[in-house]
Amino acid sequence: MTERIQVDRAHQQQMQAAFFAQLQQRWQAHPDPAAGYPMIVGVETEYLLIDADGRLLDEDTRDQILAVLPHSSSELGTGSIETHTNPVPIAGAAHSLLQEATKIERHAVQAAQQFGARLVRIGTYPGALSDLHVTQNSSRYQNLMDVSHAMHRINGELPRVQVGAVTLPKLRCETMCGCQSTHLNIQMPNLPRTIHMLNKAYELVPYLLALGAHAALLDAIPTGYTEVRSLLWQPLFSFPHFDAAHGVNTQRVGLPPAYYPDWDTYWQDVGEKFYSEPDPAHAFAANMKNFWRTVRIKPCPNDIHSCLLEIRSFSPQPTLPEDTALALLLTGLLHDPAWLDRPLLDLDLVGQNLYTASRDGLYATLAWHTASGTVVARPATEIAAELLDLGAAFWAARAVPEVELLELLRQRLHNPPASPARKSLHLYEQQLAAGHTCAAAAQQVLQAYAVEYAA
């Protein structure tokens, strides 16, 4: 049996009631059934921080950087930060997403330089897992780690978790400290159509994951996957033995068990999760903050009639323009009837696509729903090319200059296809062939993705 955590049924019911009461304060259906979709987006980017020698930064220095850096926050890892752009209208705005994101990233690079540090854009920390540490400056993070470890234990022991070629016997939650992602937030009205866009986003993610894969190393070992970050969440924050022992539902990661038919079903999925926090006054924030689906919806700050559709599944791309290109492609497709009106792929096939794309990247063969409703198997390169064509046509019709950025992603489809993961693995293998240790080779990979700006 799972040990150490007692489930108080009365308290769980109290927390759930508080969750739904607090939801009503933050979210209401949009009063205008014909409301448009303004395509306002924001980006959150997680970076690793390294010192001049390529080692992960210590927490004290990280916090000094944060003290002089607006639009940023601490992360789970002691050597990580997250930056946030302001909301930006993509179409018809003088100030572009790339301009806004460049301003934020440049400030972060300059702040880090004051302390002899650099920012790194990479999906997972390529070095030893023993280098990774959980922040001590947030009781929420520490509680999350303590509770998660306890929920994993079976008869007092942590069972092993296999992630490709890497075994994680003990460093479960700490591993997430080295897992970086870019979160795209798209502002939407609280309308039924938005739930359909959420469902289509689940279907879309594996295709673009193959195109954007950037996390092939873990614990200084090639895992056998081209994208590790997205698959790590499932074993690290799923607790099937705990759920079975106590009859609760803790599942907050990956894909939902089924597509959401309406808003009530979505919020029920969020609100029924196990509450590890003690205070009902914080029930909504506690459950929503840790609801880590591949895609999720969260209330929009200061607007009870709007929400944020957040896509959480992508590693940071090697450069900011490539990150912006992926955000532009995602946003366009999720607003484009040519994509939205296709029938939804069976969610079991979406799950298979997610695994296959994570393993094989652009070399994958993925299930695809044709416009006529037939399911066929297609090379990931063909699917990516078609989606890039759709995205380019969508933004070109709206005279958005940034549409040119999509060519950065199209270049990855050249024969043979080359995602960032392939390039990082090639660099790693070159370093090993030159006689370097695994640790030194991983450090070279880390430094290769450090962000540089001209003085």
Rg (CA), the chain: 21
Q: pLDDT tens for residues 147-171? A: 888 888 888 888 888 888 998 867 6
Whole-angstrom distance, CA of residue 215 vs CA of residue 168: 17
Whole-angstrom distance, CA of residue 455 vs CA of residue 453: 6
Cβ-Cβ contacts under 8 Å for 73 (sequence gap 6 or more): 66, 81, 82, 84
Residue 288 pLDDT: 92
Residue 333 pLDDT: 97
Residue 2 pLDDT: 44
Residues of the chain with confidence (pLDDT) below 70: 1-4, 93-95, 138-140, 169, 171
- Structural domain boundaries in the chain: 9-28+38-448
Q: What SS3 state is found at 131?
A: helix
Global confidence as pTM: 0.95
Whole-angstrom distance, CA of residue 267 vs CA of residue 404: 38
Residue 113 pLDDT: 96
Q: What is the dihedral of CA 323, 324, 330, 336, to 10 degrees?
A: -160
Whole-angstrom distance, CA of residue 150 vs CA of residue 5: 7
Q: Which fold has domain 9-28+38-448?
A: Creatine Kinase; Chain A, domain 2 (3.30.590)
- CA distances to 45, 46, 57, 58, 144 from 136, in Å: 21, 18, 14, 11, 12
